Amino acid sequence: MHVRVEDLTKRYGQVTALDGVSQTFPSGALTAVVGPSGCGKTTLLRCLAGFVAPDRGRLWMGDRDVTHTQPQSRDAAMVFQSYALWPHMTVFENLAFALRLRKVSRGDVGRRVREALDLVELDRVPGIEDRRPRQLSGGQQQRVALARAIVVRPQVLLLDEPLSNLDAKIRHRVRVEIRALQRRTGITAIYVTHDQEEAMSIADMVVVMEGGRVAQAGRPEEVYARPKSPFVAEFLGSTNVLAAVMDPDGRILPSAAGSLIFRAEDIQLASPREPAPAGSAWVDGEIVDVLFLGAGYRAYVRVGEEVIMADNRTPMPRGAVRAVIRLEKVFAFGRD
Amino acid sequence: MNATGLRAPNLRDRPRGLLALALRAALVAVLLGAIVGPLAGLVLWSVAERWHWPALLPQQVGLKYWARITQGDLLAALTRGVAIASVTTVAALVTAIPVSYGAARARLPLGPVLLMLFLLPQAFPQLPVFASAAVLFYRWNLAGTYAGVVLIHLVGGLVYAVWTMTAVFRAIGEDIEEAAINLGASVTRTFFRISLPLALPGVVASSILVFIYSLDEFTGTLLVGAPYVTTLPVYMYTASLGYELQIASVTALVLMVPGVLLLVLMERFLRAEYLAFFGRL
């Protein structure tokens, strides 16, 4: 079931959390909503869950207008950042709570709880059903929270920074599992995160937000390859921003009139004596430092007043160098 | 620092160590005296059947006055006090749970003002507050009744109940409740299945506070209840007025028992973070 918001607006006093957001979240897909803190992504999710009433705009789940629907009857289960497991109940009771509300028969409750635990791969942990949340590890608590949401077979799954309380190693594993679970169940998932790498790797579609608006939405590859604004380009991991313009030959000239953005991995370092290949932008500079990163080397190149980063497989000697970037890898924006 | 720490203590340190020890011993002695001294006096008086000046110790010792517990008015005053304290506790809980939940969740307009309102009677000297309350109670025919005494106990008891329970409810994360609402539970069901069970230790602790307060309350009970409704503190007061120091001592010791018992219980239930809230708001 697809989810759609139209002109969604929410203000808290002077602060505009959502500023006329219109966006469709495709059915059966995992959409990541990503942006820096304060961009409105959490408010958007809480509007979808029904915990925040928008000042203006409409919300649709499938063909149903849910703008004024109570959170209890939205059929959108949420996974909280803190997991929000009920500490006084066992894992079984946490999962059974919503099923009993729905008057599911006793036998079916047991069966569906086990099914859900199986889906999040907790079924092999002995005695897990009778444990209380505080007896579980962070990763296990996260999975229980996920199981508690999907046990009701919701149409929509809302995830609010679900991995931010896990350490890096477990985070990567659970990320893959959430992705696999979403594929298997075919549920429409909306996944809020501040981590652009997490968003790109997990989602069918990313929605980049900035200042309460959607800055860009699309497939991860598309948004990464063709950012529409300096903000999106920078946020998705473009490491170099130069206040500069290009002349017709591709030479990069410092200027306040525009900004050029390109990624460290797209830079070739060449000798300043060789002519730059056609169809590329180039600038001369000086390597001031080289760091070993494991997979390769990162050279810090001084260009005029600024320093850009260039990633290479091989170490480069310090000194004069020419940075060459293929034209399609350079994002040029006018200064507004 | 480490190097000197490893060396054996030199001679110059020793007198200082002795001095510290002596100071500590003195402190312990003073504290013990402050706690045990009055208690010892009470115990001594409670068993003194004859004790005339200037004797250091009673001339005749016995359990004659202790035997009074099992008979007549002391026991009646005790059971009356327990009954009043029980009703007061229940009434305080029924009032305080919704009020403090509302204040904790900021769903109550003027929550902080309301909290201050409950604190207000404590801001004035008790005697004038209770005396003017007593005047009103006479007008309303509540003087000398159980209802009147329960009401006057609620004035103080609600302060403890509302303030502790606001802290307790505030300690429960809002997302814990949202998770239940998100999965289809009504607000009422969420409160009774999620919030209240989680707040239970705090609710128990808060009831103990109110119970002890009511059991020990004197001024209000005397002004409103006497002479028809006498609880142990009032009984003790009358006894010592009549120079029956033995009866007063026995009463005081009896009165200590539930207090100490409940405080020990409460210490197990009330987490430090709830108490810390008293300093915040």
Confidence class for position B108, pLDDT limits 50, 70, 90: low
Nearest CA in chain A to B195: A86
Contact B168, B105 (CB under 8 A): no
pLDDT of residue A19: 93
Average pLDDT, chain A: 90
pLDDT of residue A302: 92
Residues of B in contact with A87 (CB under 8 A): 198
CB atoms within 10 A of CB A227: 22
Q: Round to whole Å and give the CA distance between B199 and B161.
A: 13
Distance from CA of A140 to the nearest CA of B (A): 18
Check whether A249 has a pLDDT greater than 50.
yes
If you average pLDDT over residues A119-132, what whole number do you get? 88
3-state secondary structure (DSSP) of residue B124: coil
Measured in degrees and rounded to the nearest 5, phi and psi for residue A244 equal -160, 170
The residue ranges of DSSP E strands in chain B, in sequence order, are: 48-50, 60-61
Distance from CA of A91 to the nearest CA of B (A): 14
Record: contact B198-A82, CB cut-off 8 A: no
Sign of the torsion formed by the C-alpha atoms of B267, B270, B272 and B278 = negative
The tally of CA atoms less than 13 A away on the side-chain side of residue B95 is 20
> Which amino acid is it at B3?
A
Q: Round to whole Å and give the CA distance between A205 and A182.
A: 13
pLDDT of residue B62: 78
Q: In this structure, what DSSP letter does residue A288 have? A: E
Confidence class for position A174, pLDDT limits 50, 70, 90: confident
Tokens of A230: 């300096």
Measured in degrees and rounded to the nearest 5, phi and psi for residue A223 equal -65, -35
3-state secondary structure (DSSP) of residue A239: coil
Q: Round to whole Å and give the CA distance between A323 and A268.
A: 6
Q: What b-and-e string marks burial along B8-20, b requiring 16 or more CB atoms within 10 Å of the CB?
A: eeeeeeeeeeeee
Confidence class for position B12, pLDDT limits 50, 70, 90: low
pLDDT of residue B4: 42
Choose between B186 and B108: higher pLDDT: B186
Of A77, A81, A82, the CB nearest to B183: A77
| Widest pairwise Cα distance in chain A | 80
Residues of B in contact with A97 (CB under 8 A): 180, 183, 185, 193
Sign of the torsion formed by the C-alpha atoms of A217, A218, A220 and A224 = negative
Residues of A in contact with B182 (CB under 8 A): 49-51, 71-72, 76-78
Among A96-100, A330-334, B262-266, top mean pLDDT goes to A96-100
Q: Which residues contact B15 (CB under 8 A, 6 or more apart)?
A: none
Cis peptide before B54 (omega within 30 of 0): yes
Q: Round to whole Å and give the CA distance between A126 and A135.
A: 13
Measured in degrees and rounded to the nearest 5, phi and psi for residue B59 equal -75, -30
Check whether B183 has a pLDDT greater than 80.
yes
3-state secondary structure (DSSP) of residue A90: coil
pLDDT digits (tens, 9 = 90+) for A82-111: 999 999 999 999 999 999 999 999 999 999
Record: contact A84-B178, CB cut-off 8 A: yes
pLDDT of residue A33: 95
Confidence class for position B278, pLDDT limits 50, 70, 90: very low
ipTM, interface predicted TM-score of the complex: 0.83
Contact B99, B108 (CB under 8 A): yes
Tokens of A32: 């990541």
Q: Round to whole Å and give the CA distance between B128 and B105.
A: 34
Chain centroid, CA B25 distance in Å: 30
Tokens of A102: 């729905």
Q: Hunting for tokens 């499938």 — which residue is that? A: A62
Of B175, B186, B193, the CB nearest to A84: B175
The residue ranges of DSSP E strands in B59-196, in sequence order, are: 60-61
Nearest CA in chain A to B179: A84
Choose between B225 and B21: higher pLDDT: B21
Check whether A149 has a pLDDT greater than 90.
yes
Residues of chain A with pLDDT > 70, as a percent, come to 99
If you average pLDDT over residues A205-228, what whole number do you get? 92
Confidence class for position B150, pLDDT limits 50, 70, 90: very high
Check whether B6 has a pLDDT greater than 50.
no
Tell me which residue of A212, A190, A210, A214 sits closest to A202, measured CA to CA.
A190
Q: In this structure, what DSSP letter does residue B57 have? A: S
Contact A262, A329 (CB under 8 A): yes
3-state secondary structure (DSSP) of residue A105: coil
pLDDT digits (tens, 9 = 90+) for B51-65: 887 777 888 887 777
List the single best residue of B172, B174, B182 to mutate versus A (max A Cβ within 10 A).
B182
If you average pLDDT over residues B29-50, what whole number do you get? 83
Average pLDDT, chain B: 81
Chain centroid, CA B38 distance in Å: 19
Check whether B276 has a pLDDT greater than 60.
no
Record: contact A101-B183, CB cut-off 8 A: yes
Among A148-162, A308-322, B137-151, top mean pLDDT goes to A148-162
Cis peptide before B227 (omega within 30 of 0): yes
Cis peptide before A154 (omega within 30 of 0): no
Nearest CA in chain A to B184: A72
Contact A260, A242 (CB under 8 A): yes
Residues of chain A with pLDDT > 90, as a percent, come to 56
Choose between A263 and B123: higher pLDDT: A263
Record: contact B175-A73, CB cut-off 8 A: no
Q: Which residues contact B152 (CB under 8 A, 6 or more apart)?
A: B130, B133, B134, B137, B217, B220, B221, B223, B224, B225
Q: Which residues contact A116 (CB under 8 A, 6 or more apart)?
A: A95, A147, A148, A150, A151
Q: Round to whole Å and give the CA distance between A174 and A238.
A: 26
Q: What angle do CA A326, A306, A289 make, to 5 degrees?
A: 85
Record: contact A71-B181, CB cut-off 8 A: yes
Check whether B3 has a pLDDT greater than 50.
no
Of B176, B179, B185, the CB nearest to A101: B185
pLDDT of residue A283: 92
Tell me which residue of A157, A207, A163 sits closest to A41, measured CA to CA.
A207
Choose between B210 and B38: higher pLDDT: B210
